[in-house]
Amino acid sequence: MTDSSHTEPPFDLTEGILELVAEICEGLGRLSVDLPAERSILLRRANRIRTVHASLAVEGNTLSLDQVEAVLDGRRVTGPASEIQEVRNALEAYAQMDSWNPGSRVDICAAHGILMAGLVDRPGTFRRGAAGIVGGEEVVHVAPPADRVPILVSSLLRWLKDATVHPLVRGSVFHYELEFIHPFADGNGRLGRLWQTLILSRWNPLCAVLPVEHVVRDRQSAYYSALRQSDAAGRSTPFITFMLGAILEALEKAAPEKLHEDGTEVGARLRARSRARSDQILAALVDGPVSMGELATALGLHSKTGALKRTVKALLEADLIEYTIPTKPSSRLQKYRLTK
């Protein structure tokens, strides 16, 4: 977000972003059929524990998953007092998430007040001094001046309420823009991730059972890299792409845990579809090298989808297929062939 009061944050709806949105919607649609309501409730509790653990781990909290669960259950936990307080605060914030309005400045400040209670001075109030984002030992981002924060936050919340772009994109844009503004002295990262979950769960409640925070934790360097790339570009497009990829990965990770009422494992069916796609690709290469576009046509696809690209990548990593131009993987003349 550029340092202005414009109500439209800059980003591009690329073909890759639209493909990711379509794949996520398709996956959530399958889960909405395959996941019984009572199972969803159990998974939401389990995912709240994983989410709090992962989100705080990104911020340097060292408590284990079992310790986070112990805090939730009211059991005694041995560890740094500040880290235990962080866990208590985050669990309370996620517990209250359903009562908040994503477009409310009062609610976003209240959420920060809960997340950072007992950890910072004046929790829930905007910062008064300079701030930035640090990834490891590197300064990733320098935030706008403190006197610009109120108008930038108000502008962003107005955009969130009025935007017509898909909620998956809207949540990612808001997350990035909140990190850019960095409205609070501390706790902006965990608040941004919480608020994106809130935005998505308002659109589809199943988003509350996806382990997105775990993916972000596992890909933490890529998370900060996407922030840097978006800052450099002056547009949140790289960060949107990263977050949608993380959501899709979380959806795929969650699938094996979802059981249908008749005991059929959704994850097994997803893996079966993946194997079938791999077999189709291998069959298409029997007669000689084929480009990505030709593979899409052979599989009856309208475009080079993200699922196709991921399957090709997996086959390359498994040494079942190879590049015809190995020294230039991104060449427009690139094709794929079976290995010996």
Query: What are 267-276's pLDDT values in tens digits?
Result: 454 555 566 7
Residue ranges of alpha helices (H) inside the chain are 15-34, 37-58, 65-72, 81-96, 105-115, 149-162, 167-181, 188-203, 212-218, 220-233, 237-254, 266-284, 292-298, 306-317
Confidence (pTM): 0.73
Helix (H, G, I), strand (E, B) or coil at 101: coil
pLDDT at 50: 87
Strands 336-338 and 132-135, by their bridges, are: unpaired
Q: Record the tokens describing residue 121, joined without a space.
A: 């001075």
pLDDT at 127 over 80: yes
Q: Record the tokens describing residue 155, joined without a space.
A: 């502008």
**Least confident piece of the model among 35-49, 105-119, 128-142, 224-238:** 35-49
Buried b or exposed e, range 68-81, using 16+ CB within 10 angstroms: bbbbbeeeebeeee
**Least confident piece of the model among 36-40, 72-76, 306-310:** 36-40
Rounded Cα gap, residues 233 and 148, in angstroms: 21
pLDDT at 257: 45
pLDDT at 299: 78
Compute the mean pLDDT over every residue in the chain, rounded to the nearest whole number.
85
pLDDT at 255: 62
Q: What percent of the chain has pLDDT over 70?
A: 86
pLDDT at 322: 93
Q: What percent of the chain has pLDDT over 90?
A: 52
**Least confident piece of the model among 295-299, 327-331, 335-339:** 295-299
Angle at 189 between CA 184 and CA 195, to 5 degrees: 90
Q: Which residue has the tokens 């690209």?
A: 309
HSE, side-chain direction, 13 A CA sphere, residue 95: 10
Strands 138-142 and 132-135, by their bridges, are: antiparallel
Structural domains for the chain: 36-257 (1.10.3290.10), 266-338 (1.10.10.10)
pLDDT at 42: 61
Q: Give 256's pLDDT tier (boundaries 50, 70, 90).
A: very low
Rounded Cα gap, residues 165 and 170, in angstroms: 6
Q: Give 264's pLDDT tier (boundaries 50, 70, 90).
A: very low
Helix (H, G, I), strand (E, B) or coil at 6: coil
pLDDT at 197 over 60: yes
